[in-house]
Amino acid sequence: MKKGKFLTLEGVEGVGKTTHLNFIASYLEQVGKKIVTTREPGGTAIAEQIRGLLLNHNDEALSSVSELLLMFAARAQHLKEVIKPALEAGKWVVCDRFTDATYAYQGGGRHFNMGDIAWMEKFVQKGLTPDKTVLLDLPVEIGLKRAACRSVPDRFESEKQFFFENVRQVYLDRAKAESNRFCVVDASEPIEQVQQSITGHLDELLLDDE
């Protein structure tokens, strides 16, 4: 059986990942692909429990090292239970965040050594990486204003603006370094234009899959 494709969506807070993930899944289903949508951290019962530890405000402060380890613990479970089986079954997996988020948030935001993150990526993922990553990009200030209107800020959303400026910069640096995998989409444009841009990139991936 032909292996499926692995697509990820990335970006700072407020870029509209959930909305565009649903659009991508619907578009791919219309052209006959079997789709699995999921998210990180999370995606399985155990990984969702870890998500709660990572995102919720707790009386005990979560150390940066614990945060990084929990991200990869959730990812290991997610890969084993959801992502790898779906890809092997020929399905296309569309995931809200993946390891690029770890480089951006823990590497850029928390200032972890990128080499340490790369070692953990190699250990957990065994070479599995997304076939295509859509980076929804917009100025941090706009994204935070959007996110503030959406819900009560979680533990990450409560960080200062400079934290997210560092996150955004790492995303852009990674997109430049891996331009064949990344497609950068201006998320400040009207939603119709954003989705038109995404469609163009999806069509290219579909052509490559023929």
Q: Taking the domains of the chain in order of start, what are their residue ranges? A: 6-209
| Alpha-carbon gap, residue 187 to 198, rounded angstroms | 10
Neighbour count for residue 23 (Cβ, 10 Å): 18
Long-range contacts at 121-129 (CB < 8 A, ≥ 24 apart):
121/72, 123/72, 124/72, 124/75, 124/76, 124/79, 125/75, 125/79, 125/99, 128/6, 128/79, 128/83, 128/84, 129/6, 129/99, 129/181
pLDDT at 42 over 90: yes
Domain 6-209 belongs in CATH node 3.40.50.300:
yes
Angle at which helices 17-30 and 191-209 pack, to 10 degrees? Answer: 40
pLDDT at 210 over 80: no
Share of the chain above pLDDT 70, in %: 99
* The predicted structure's pLDDT at residue 95: 98
Asked whether 28 and 155 are in contact (CB, 8 A), the reply is no
145 vs 66, higher pLDDT: 66
pLDDT at 150 over 80: no
Q: Using H for helix, E for strand and C for coil, what is the string for 34-87?
A: CEEEEECCCCCHHHHHHHHHHHCCCCCCCCHHHHHHHHHHHHHHHHHHHHHHHH
* The predicted structure's pLDDT at residue 142: 93
* The predicted structure's pLDDT at residue 2: 84
Instruction: Give 50's pLDDT tier (boundaries 50, 70, 90).
Output: very high
pLDDT at 69 over 80: yes
- Across 67-88, average pLDDT: 98
Sequence-distant (6+) residues with CB within 8 A of 172 are 135, 137, 184
Three-class secondary structure of residue 8 per DSSP: strand
Give 149: exposed, middle or buried? Use CB within 10 Å, 0-12, 13-18, 19+.
exposed
* The predicted structure's pLDDT at residue 138: 95
Tokens of 146: 């959007």
